[in-house]
Structure 1
Amino acid sequence: MAQLFSPAADTWMRLFLVGSLSLMAGGTVGIIGFARSAYMTSTDVRPQQPVPFSHRHHAGELGIDCRYCHSNVERGPQAGLPPTETCMTCHSQIWTNASVLEPVRQSLAHQTPVEWTRVAKLPDYVYFRHDIHIAKGVGCSDCHGRIDKMALTYRAKPFTMEFCLDCHRDPAPRLRPPEHVTDMAWTPPADAGAKGEAIAAHERIRFGELTHCTVCHR
């Protein structure tokens, strides 16, 4: 009886199966890695801005509180960008003729806002409010990183669904007292979980409901 396959056929078949499985596994890992890459999540990207504003200088070196410029962060869904008048509160006295601040002076003269490029932007299908997070004890640095050390602002956290759910599943260790919400240098205590649970109880945070779809998608 004639032999249909050569003696090496089994070897080639095994190599083919191993190669196919390896390619599938490698492709899956590659896709997941690409989805989490800085390119896709826009992390560590410093977009061109009309003025090279430095949070490191203003928030870090000068110690200006976040709420001085982002005045709506405790009262509404968006933190808000400072109007030109806020910038000129200081810059009408210092760096008055600096060329780098010409767009700010023109903004004030023509009563038109400075067109900043947003860094911390969420998709339109995501429902998010700054005020509720601030009120419950979520610190600015938890989502924005050590922005007080950024010479040019960039997105420090990926803002993916996984990132949000990790916190919503167990927010207690991340909660902090209200006086430390804007404190960039705050570090959780050794008993962060227990203290966070006390804050959550006081603020009536309903743990079991934080991962419901309608919390973030309405």
Structure 2
Amino acid sequence: MTQIFSPAADTWLRLAVVGFLSVCGGSVVGAIGFARSAYVTSIDNAPHQPVPFSHRHHAGELGIDCRYCHADVEKGPKAGLPPTTTCMTCHSQIWTNAAMLEPVRQSIVENKPLRWVRVAKLPDYVFFRHDIHIAKGVGCVTCHGRIDTMPLTYRAHAFTMQFCLDCHRDPTPNLRPADRITDMTWKPAGNPRDLGGKIAAHVGIRFGELTHCYVCHR
């Protein structure tokens, strides 16, 4: 009988299968790694802004409360960006001729808003409201990190589905009193879970429903 395949054919077949599976596995791992990379999630990336606004100076050194500029954060889905008039509340008196603030002055003269580049941006298919999270006791630092130490604003966390689900499954360590929502340095005196549990009971958090699909996708 004539032999169709050489003795080495079986070895080559096995090597081909192993190579194919390795390429497939490597592609999956690579795709996941790329999706979680800083290039995609924009972590630690401070985009160019019309004015080099420093949260470290305004919120950290001067102690300006987040709600002074982000006035809608407690009453609507979006935190809101300050109108130029808010900036000029101070800068009509100080740093009036600073070159870096020329876009601010020009915005007032032309009656056109500054076009800030959003840093904390969620996909359109995600339903999110700032007011709900604040009302339940989630502080700014939980999602935005120590923004009071940032000379230029960047994204501190990757807003992945996993990031949100980890908190929705067990939000108690992230809950704080209402008067500490914007306090970036606040730490609970005791066990965070004990305090968070009491806050959760007080504000009526329904733990069993937080991971339902409709909570974030509507």
Using the size of structure 2 for normalisation, the TM-score is: 0.94
Distance 1:6 1:138, change over 3 A: same
> 5 Å matches for 1:1-218?
1-187=1-187, 191-218=191-218
- SS across alignment from 2:101: helix
Output the CA distance in 1 between the equivalents of 2:143 and 2:100. 29
Output the CA distance in 1 between the equivalents of 2:181 and 2:10. 65
Distance 1:112 1:59, change over 3 A: same
CA deviations over 1:166-209 (Å, ceiling 9, x no partner):
11111111111222211112235552112211110100000111
Distance 1:189 1:29, change over 3 A: farther
Using the size of structure 1 for normalisation, the TM-score is: 0.94
CA deviations over 1:136-179 (Å, ceiling 9, x no partner):
11010111111111111111111122211111111111111222
> Which residue type is aligned with residue 168 of structure 1?
H
Superposed CA RMSD: 1.5
Preserved contact between residue 173 and residue 188 of structure 1 (Cα < 8 Å): no
Distance 1:211 1:83, change over 3 A: same
> Which residue type is aligned with residue 31 of structure 1?
A
Output the CA distance in 2 between the equivalents of 1:78 and 1:120. 11
Structure 1 consecutive aligned stretches of length 4 or more whose deviation exceeds 4 Å? none
Range moving further from structure 2, 87-96 or 41-50:
41-50
Preserved contact between residue 165 and residue 211 of structure 2 (Cα < 8 Å): yes
> Which residue type is aligned with residue 155 of structure 2?
R
Output the CA distance in 1 between the equivalents of 2:31 and 2:187. 35
Question: Any stretches of 5+ residues in structure 2 without a counterpart?
Answer: none
Output the CA distance in 2 between the equivalents of 1:78 and 1:155. 16
Preserved contact between residue 83 and residue 113 of structure 1 (Cα < 8 Å): yes
Q: Percent identity?
A: 72
- Note the C-alpha offset of 1:91: 0.8
Distance 1:133 1:33, change over 3 A: same
> Which residue type is aligned with residue 20 of structure 2?
S
Preserved contact between residue 188 and residue 195 of structure 2 (Cα < 8 Å): no
CA deviations over 1:28-75 (Å, ceiling 9, x no partner):
100111111112222222211110101111111111111111111111
